[in-house]
Structure 1
Amino acid sequence: MTVGSWERAVREQVGLGRLLPLGAAEDGAWIAERAAAGALRRAAAGVREARVTGLRVGPAEDAVAAGGEAGSDGSGSGAQSADGAGNADGAAAGVGPAPVSALPYGELRIAAECDAAADRPMTATAEALREALLRGAEERLGLRVAAADIHVTGLLETPPTAAEPGPPAQGTGTATDPGTSTSTGTGTATGTATGTSTDTRPSTETRTGTDARTGADARTGTDTRTSTGAPAGTGAPAAAAAPQVAGVLDGGVLRDGDHAEVRVVVDSAYRALDVALAVRARTSAATVTVLVTDIR
């Protein structure tokens, strides 16, 4: 890859926004925050008593404002697993440099703002939403999330249906209105109560499974839906197509000497971390990092 093409790729990567670490440091995988937020919104859509209006994910030790989320689209529920054990030549590739704008590895915190049904206690709604987000982060993505803060900022007269994830948040910064209601994770919520609902949940990883729709084992890489070139919408140049792995919809490999950075668009039916591990295992390079740019 030429210097000019690599610089263009870096500019495109910066356009993806903040990148969140997937799994552990040795996994060498990241995901665009906007892609993760979209998947978490879909996970939260099952809580009919709440409608998410803002969602951010950041380092656990930092205070994360929920109102400045980058939008994402797509639909889907549940996640299949892809196996990432071993690579094409039987040796594990090393983890290369982190992508531009990537957060360092460590636990994360979700901050979500929502409107809640007026006919149900806010604390119960906040707890249900927190559970859905933590479960989604683990089962759909593979994020290591230490806590989730839920802020109830408005009331719903009629709960939305499960198919309605709610409109994406607009603008930046915290969207909390001082005059609105906020639910706490403990105690009794009232019309003027403020606070957050926070809890911890250990992360687990499942790295085996098969493609239920094709019957192909994820190890074989026989997913024929993988296309060539760079991930759709990124405009990044690619020296080669991403490895054919179940769960990859689109992708490309950017090479810089002995290092390869693989950018992929992941099917929402698959767990993002498992797909990233399978991609790393099938990429031939001294060091490999994987970046999930979108989930559809």
Structure 2
Amino acid sequence: MTTNPEPGPDGASGEHSPGALLPLGGADEDAWLAEAAAARAFRAAAETVPGVRAGDCRVVPLDATAPAHRPALPGSRLPRGPVRVRIGVTAPLDLTSPVPKTAEAVRQRVLAAATGQLGLDVGAVDVSVDDLHTVPGDEAEGR
């Protein structure tokens, strides 16, 4: 199997890599979730916001002193405690819904997926709106 050292389409390092292992449960539990699985759930949650298309998603320790630019090695375990989710999206160019409102809706959906579906302790969600796109049908209306 050949792996790619660059982040793959799911944001995990290596084409088939599950990424780092994320802590679930308390300190006395040995429960972990692969970063790629969490990223998949977070992208799906983000895309429940109308018109949003999710892109890269990373999960890093919440600790502000941790190097933000360096992804964890595949298979390594993040330290126990809250994590930070960083997700990039493209948002609809919609004059009735400002971009900050859309970003906040994405943040809330990701938080809901973290607690409701995954049981992951997420302390922060950083949403990056990387691009805007027109919604099909808007061109016909002259928007």
- Shared fold (TM-score greater than 0.5)? yes
Which of residues 79, 90, 96 in structure 2 aligns to 1:115?
Answer: 90
The answer for the alignment partner of 2:59 in structure 1 is: 57
Aligned residue runs from structure 1 range 62-77, under 5 A: 62=66, 64=68
Aligned residue runs from structure 1 range 60-99, under 5 A: 60-61=62-63, 62=66, 64=68
Distance in 1 separating the partners of 2:122 and 2:82: 5
Q: Shift in Å at residue 63 of structure 1?
A: 5.9
Report the AA paired with residue 108 of structure 1: V
Q: Shift in Å at residue 101 of structure 1?
A: 1.1
The answer for the alignment partner of 2:121 in structure 1 is: 144
Distance in 2 separating the partners of 1:64 and 1:133: 19
Aligned residues: 112
The answer for the alignment partner of 1:271 in structure 2 is: none
The answer for the alignment partner of 2:4 in structure 1 is: none
Structure 1: where are the runs of 5+ without partners?
1-14, 69-99, 160-296
Residue identity over aligned pairs, in percent, reads: 42
Find out whether 1:35 has 2:10 as its counterpart.
no
SS in 2 for 1:102: coil
Report the AA paired with residue 22 of structure 2: L
Which of residues 19, 22, 42 in structure 1 aligns to 2:21?
Answer: 19
Q: Deviations over 1:211-242 (max 9, x none)?
A: xxxxxxxxxxxxxxxxxxxxxxxxxxxxxxxx
Structure 1 contact 51–115 (Cα < 8 Å) conserved: yes
The answer for the alignment partner of 1:153 in structure 2 is: 130
Distance in 2 separating the partners of 1:34 and 1:42: 12
Q: Shift in Å at residue 64 of structure 1?
A: 4.3
Distance in 1 separating the partners of 2:67 and 2:51: 26
Structure 2 contact 43–55 (Cα < 8 Å) conserved: no
Structure 2: where are the runs of 5+ without partners?
1-16, 137-143
Report the AA paired with residue 56 of structure 2: G
Q: Deviations over 1:40-61 (max 9, x none)?
A: 1122221113211111111001
Q: Deviations over 1:222-267 (max 9, x none)?
A: xxxxxxxxxxxxxxxxxxxxxxxxxxxxxxxxxxxxxxxxxxxxxx
Q: Deviations over 1:177-224 (max 9, x none)?
A: xxxxxxxxxxxxxxxxxxxxxxxxxxxxxxxxxxxxxxxxxxxxxxxx
Distance in 1 separating the partners of 2:46 and 2:128: 14
Structure 1 contact 49–125 (Cα < 8 Å) conserved: no
TM-score (norm 2): 0.71
Report the AA paired with residue 144 of structure 1: D
Find out whether 1:47 has 2:49 as its counterpart.
yes
Structure 1 contact 60–147 (Cα < 8 Å) conserved: yes
